[in-house]
């Protein structure tokens, strides 16, 4: 075996290197080479129909986005009894949404809020959560 490597080792090394290079070129060609030209540059009519339906539904999507929950604020605090509590505010673009909170007095509570909570009686943590959510609206 040593005689084989002594006599033909350089050629075997060169052949192995050549095969590796050919394999890498083939792999690169198959991965990044030109696309199959069978399509001829034509666009699939079904794809065009789907794109057109998305374009047609754009006004409905824009109207729906205004009703979606887009802004949130979360305030962690310690309530009067020393327990961990939170106030979570979720709002849409119009400032309508939910306040979810918990504390020792009421447990978990959810209430609806309109117009960013203007005029509503809110606790300090709830106001802080709304301020965080409203800050996202301005940016």
The mean pLDDT value of the chain amounts to 82
In terms of Cβ atoms closer than 10 Å to its own Cβ (0-12, 13-18, 19+), residue 82 is exposed
Q: CA 138 to CA 41: how far, in whole Å?
A: 45
Q: CA 46 to CA 67: how far, in whole Å?
A: 31
- The residues spanned by each domain of the chain are 69-138
What mean pLDDT comes out for the span 72-101?
89
Confidence class for position 106, pLDDT limits 50, 70, 90? confident
pLDDT at position 34? 64
pLDDT for 138 beyond 70: no
Helices in the chain by DSSP H: which ranges? 2-32, 45-56, 58-65, 124-138
Q: What is the pLDDT of residues 32-78, one digit of tens each?
A: 766 654 555 577 888 788 888 878 888 877 777 767 788 889 999 98
Coil, helix or strand at residue 104: coil
Enter the tokens of residue 73: 């604020």
pLDDT for 128 beyond 90: yes
Q: Give residues with Cβ within 8 angstroms of 81, minimum separation 6.
A: 104
């Amino acid at each position: 075996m040593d005689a084989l490597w002594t006599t033909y080792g350089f050629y075997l090394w060169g052949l192995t290197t050549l095969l590796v290079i050919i394999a890498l070129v083939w792999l690169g060609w198959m991965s990044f080479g030109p696309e199959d030209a069978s399509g001829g540059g034509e666009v699939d009519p079904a794809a065009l129909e789907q794109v057109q339906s998305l374009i047609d539904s754009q006004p409905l999507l824009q109207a729906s986005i205004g009703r979606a929950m887009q802004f949130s604020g979360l305030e962690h605090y310690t309530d009067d009894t020393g327990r961990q509590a939170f106030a979570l505010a979720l709002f849409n673009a119009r400032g309508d949404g939910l306040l979810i909170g918990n504390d020792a007095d009421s447990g978990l509570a959810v209430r609806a809020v309109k117009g960013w909570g203007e005029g509503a009686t809110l606790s300090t943590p709830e106001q802080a959560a709304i301020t965080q959510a409203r800050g996202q609206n301005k940016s």
